[in-house]
Structure 1
Amino acid sequence: MHIKDIEPKKVFDFFQEISNIPRGSGNEKAISDYLVAFAKERGLEVIQDEALNIIIRKPGTKGYEEAPGVILQGHMDMVCEKNNDTIHDFEKDPIKLKIEGDYIYAEGTTLGADNGIAVAYSLAILDAEDIPHPPLEVLITTEEETGLIGAMAVKPEHIKGRILINLDSEEEGKFLVSCAGGVRNKVILPISYEAPFDNGCCYTLKIRGLKGGHSGLDIIRQRANSNKLAGRVLADIIESCSIRLISLQGGSKTNAIPREMDVVFYGSMEEENQLKDIVARWQDIIANEYRAVDENAVVLLEKMDVKAEQVFDRETTEKAVQLLYLIPSGIRTMSQDIPGLVQSSTNLGVVITSKEQVEFHSAIRSSVGSLKEEIVKETKYIAKALGVEAVFQAGYPEWQYNSESKIRNISCEVYERLTGEKPEIVAIHAGVECGLFSEKFDNMDMISFGPNLYDVHTPEEHMSITSVQNLWVFLKELLKAIQ
């Protein structure tokens, strides 16, 4: 079977066409121009903005002229990953599609169904003359995969509709209705040094064996955070032993739950047995607390065969431990609307030491703006109390659950009528473009859904043909039902 032989032909033909156009994030000029040409060839109104976002308008069909305007939305860029033995230039080579049973794959590269299938659906709707629909705006953004950059640049005056259907979800039968907003935080502790005291040596406290995970999607699993564990152990040590810190290095990304932490410190050799006893006790505590979610967690103490030229002074040492202990991390609140959904959280993802300072980096998330600000304020007050600086940056808005969503109600009714089953209403504790649109456009009623995609962002990415077909039928019936 060839992709050109699969129904619905228009959807898969357009998917094939856009797969022939290189469209990695930041390299969208060609695909953006293709969409402009598509619209002009059909006499449709089109806007190409400075960020290369595309907006195409099509009037409502007969009987739908006065229906509420609907926006079909997705992004044109794709993640470019390939296997080591695959020869492929994402700047110029087309994606080579192949069919295996019910699935479409690419040959050794990412498929780009995330989010090329949204573009294909939208073009098929715009191209059709026999599909009833309200006035349509198709909004296709750029650089979604590298930080929602295109969505940030969309101008509110370019958008008329107030019902938005985002086609960037990846599980058929699940309707996404909320996402978290977030902000990045950095607490900065300047280092004051002193000479090491006599009769001491260097030690390394190590946290190992943790599973980690995505700080938004996996925070619900309540896995251990290596940076916070180190803070707990160190807080116990400094109450009993005379130590001075030398460096703290934990985690690699703020949006990942840290798996490892190394704390190098200087301690008295006379207190070595006491240090060992404290670490051994904490090994038992950690093994008990995390036996169900991080069963391989270990805390280790290693003596180092090096000399310390200088160490943190007492005040810097104490403040570093206090910050590790006090900076909030983990689940803060759960949703009252959607069972099992984390509503707000924060993750102390990275602790890094340079010559001048120690930096504590956190990712703060919430689907309710006021709760995000609550965590921000708490962190500010902790920093202020300890006399250090807190910096907040890279904020993005949440998409808060709308208990009165008409498009959700209509979507559920249509889905149940077609399938005989109720869809699953879901929310994610991570950011999507709908969060930006909820802030950018007043009173926008939104929902997100899509066909079954698997292993996205990897060369194993594949898309279910049957699911694409099912969602095509659903999308057409949904547009027909919006009057």
Structure 2
Amino acid sequence: MLSSLTPKSLWTIFEQICQIPHPSHHEEMISKYIVDFAAKHQIDCQLDKVGNILLRKAATAGMEHCPSIVLQAHMDMVPQKNEETQHDFLIDPIKPYIDGEWVKAQGTTLGADNGIGLASALAVLSDPAVEHGPIEVLVTASEETGMVGAFGLQPNWLNSRFLINTDSEEEGEIFTGCAGGIDFKSTFAITYAIIPDVHDTFLRLSLKGLKGGHSGCDIHLGRGNAIKLLIRFLAQYAQDIPFRLADFRGGSLRNAIPREAFAEITLNQKDLPRLAALIGEFQQILQHEFKHVEPNVTFSYTHLEKDNVKRVITAEQQQKILNWLNSAPNGVVRMSNEIKGIVETSLNLGIVEIKDNQIAAYFLIRSQVDSAKDAVASTLISHSELINANYEINGGYSGWTPNLDSKLLKLAESNYHNIFAKKAKIMVIHAGLECGLFTKHYPQMDMISIGPTIVSPHSPDERVNIESVTKYWQLLVSILRSADNLK
């Protein structure tokens, strides 16, 4: 039981959140939970037209003179599971469990991103032991799939001048800036042909076991992209085998590094031994190249029934598709010159799928620099036009510019040092926090982002460190208790 952990109020609420399905764009049940929570605790509650929720609570006794602070979290989670896990994110609860120093989930994402932040904000509202000035809790909708709630946030809704975002993922770091982002989708119409008469063998190639992870926070760790690796095999190692491609798919979210990719192919039985040998060789290559970061990568094939494969892509188009995806840029583009160790610009090839007679590739571009973000988009436009593919660009948003003179930042720094006798790290995150979008309607808002240590968000390996949650809670509560210093 997570409620046995400290702080009890936070973990109890998080355990309740885990019981409620809440993937992006399916947040009706978690929204109702929050509204009911507000009614139970006699807290003012408002909803806007895009699904955001704003809760307000008056100051505790003796804190009425303090400035008002917004605690902000998003209500949705990334729905990722291992292939063998039987789980429907629309109806099944997440199954959290304690594993030593960590809380994990059974075969799925945990939703600590941003469930811990949401739980902490609700715990502040309901825990009588927490002292605070006037509080606003802003819970945004569908953050993980385009920051829908943040884009739709209305002006003059928030009363506070200070905001604490709870969506960062490293305890001991205080974030004061983030990357902007843009979505890029490229599509190419497919022409099919009948299966060659000499092809009597039907296979599914499966590249699995990669760690995946957050396409911003983890992009610099050198993890494998399953789409790129499987395409690499087909475009390079298997080129001397006359196989034909019937289907290809990999990844499921544009903001998660793909952990798995699959291809369905046909070939002549006489070529199977050669292909099997190449698959074994390529697995050894991957194990050598990625031995320090992807120890569990596997590459294998299984036989398919002939009736399951109806047609194949024409030979000419197959070669174009393989060249197109093999040459697609992916990963870190540039490191920051201003902040050591921080990625400035990157892109993630997050999804490739074939449906409706076309193949689609979904990229997410991130950068602290808007012009650099646009430059990568220009590269992808050129890449698409080389094979006459169509493309769409949408969801663009600017980053959050750091403010090192922030009163809230200085208060958080001071409190962290007083509690833990060491300095917090002041950081800029290579991910899309909603803070950058809030400045459109609230340009004077003073903001920071803090959170516990969450490893491998956006993947079934997601886990949150228990001690870091305690420390995050201590810092959050201390900032609220000392809010008088913000005047």
TM-score by length of 2: 0.70
Give distance in 1, aligned partners of 2:76 and 2:310.
51
**Secondary structure at the residue paired with 2:28?**
coil
**Secondary structure at the residue paired with 1:347?**
strand
- Residue 313 (structure 2) aligns with: 312
Alignment of 1:41-440 (within 5 A): 49-50=48-49, 51=51, 53-54=53-54, 56=56, 70-74=69-73, 113-121=116-124, 138-143=136-141, 148-169=147-168, 172-195=171-194, 199=198, 202=201, 204=203, 206-214=205-213, 215-236=215-236, 241=240, 243=242, 245-253=244-252, 254=254, 255-266=256-267, 282-283=282-283, 285-297=285-297, 299=299, 306=306, 310-354=311-355, 356-395=357-396, 397-440=398-441
Contact 1:78 1:115 (C-alpha < 8 Å) held by counterparts: no
Return the letter of the residue paired with 1:322.
Answer: N
Name the % identity.
25
TM-superposed deviation, 1:235: 2.7
Contact 1:247 1:264 (C-alpha < 8 Å) held by counterparts: yes
TM-superposed deviation, 1:325: 0.9
Return the letter of the residue paired with 1:120.
Answer: A
Contact 1:345 1:364 (C-alpha < 8 Å) held by counterparts: yes
TM-superposed deviation, 1:320: 0.6
TM-superposed deviation, 1:357: 2.0
For residues 438 and 371 of structure 1, do their structure 2 counterparts lie closer, same or farther at Cα, with a shift above 3 Å needed? farther
Deviations 1:145-194 (A, max 9, x none): 76554444321222354432224556653323334443443322212234
Give distance in 2, aligned partners of 1:480 and 1:439.
27
**Secondary structure at the residue paired with 1:155?**
coil
Matched length: 453
**Secondary structure at the residue paired with 1:158?**
coil
Contact 1:169 1:451 (C-alpha < 8 Å) held by counterparts: yes
For residues 167 and 351 of structure 1, do their structure 2 counterparts lie closer, same or farther at Cα, with a shift above 3 Å needed? closer
Deviations 1:168-223 (A, max 9, x none): 55665332333444344332221223455665555647353542322334323212
Contact 2:204 2:304 (C-alpha < 8 Å) held by counterparts: no
- Residue 83 (structure 2) aligns with: none
Give distance in 1, aligned partners of 2:290 and 2:442.
43
Return the letter of the residue paired with 2:293.
Answer: V
Return the letter of the residue paired with 1:26.
Answer: E
Give distance in 2, aligned partners of 1:406 and 1:185.
37
Give distance in 1, aligned partners of 2:204 and 2:6.
60
For residues 304 and 397 of structure 1, do their structure 2 counterparts lie closer, same or farther at Cα, with a shift above 3 Å needed? same
Return the letter of the residue paired with 2:235.
Answer: A
Deviations 1:422-459 (A, max 9, x none): 01334444433324324443243310225689999999
Return the letter of the residue paired with 1:294.
Answer: E
Contact 1:75 1:116 (C-alpha < 8 Å) held by counterparts: no
Return the letter of the residue paired with 1:165.
Answer: I
RMSD of aligned residue pairs (Cα, Å): 5.4
**Secondary structure at the residue paired with 1:157?**
coil
Return the letter of the residue paired with 2:136.
Answer: V
Deviations 1:60-114 (A, max 9, x none): 999997x98643434578999xxxxxxxxx99xxxxxxxxxx9999xxx999654
Contact 2:344 2:368 (C-alpha < 8 Å) held by counterparts: yes
Contact 1:226 1:260 (C-alpha < 8 Å) held by counterparts: yes
Return the letter of the residue paired with 2:173.
Answer: K
Give distance in 2, aligned partners of 1:211 and 1:333.
24
Give distance in 1, aligned partners of 2:335 and 2:310.
48
**Secondary structure at the residue paired with 2:156?**
helix
Return the letter of the residue paired with 2:384.
Answer: A
**Secondary structure at the residue paired with 1:156?**
coil
For residues 339 and 243 of structure 1, do their structure 2 counterparts lie closer, same or farther at Cα, with a shift above 3 Å needed? same
Contact 2:415 2:475 (C-alpha < 8 Å) held by counterparts: no
Return the letter of the residue paired with 2:138.
Answer: I
Give distance in 1, aligned partners of 2:275 and 2:477.
66
Return the letter of the residue paired with 1:118.
Answer: A
TM-superposed deviation, 1:412: 1.2
Moved more, 335-344 or 211-220: 335-344
Return the letter of the residue paired with 1:365.
Answer: R
Give distance in 2, aligned partners of 1:334 and 1:143.
31
Deviations 1:248-294 (A, max 9, x none): 3232413242323324144795x778767765664554343223222
TM-superposed deviation, 1:401: 3.7
Give distance in 2, aligned partners of 1:301 and 1:63.
65
CA radius of gyration, larger in: 1
Give distance in 2, aligned partners of 1:351 and 1:468.
37
Give distance in 2, aligned partners of 1:7 and 1:288.
42
- Residue 478 (structure 2) aligns with: 474
Moved more, 227-236 or 308-317: 308-317
TM-superposed deviation, 1:470: 2.8
Give distance in 2, aligned partners of 1:385 and 1:462.
46
Return the letter of the residue paired with 1:190.
Answer: A
The runs of 5 or more residues in structure 1 that have no matched partner are 81-89, 92-101
Contact 1:179 1:431 (C-alpha < 8 Å) held by counterparts: yes
Contact 2:227 2:258 (C-alpha < 8 Å) held by counterparts: no
- Residue 97 (structure 2) aligns with: none
For residues 162 and 376 of structure 1, do their structure 2 counterparts lie closer, same or farther at Cα, with a shift above 3 Å needed? farther
**Secondary structure at the residue paired with 2:323?**
helix
The runs of 5 or more residues in structure 2 that have no matched partner are 80-89, 92-100, 105-109
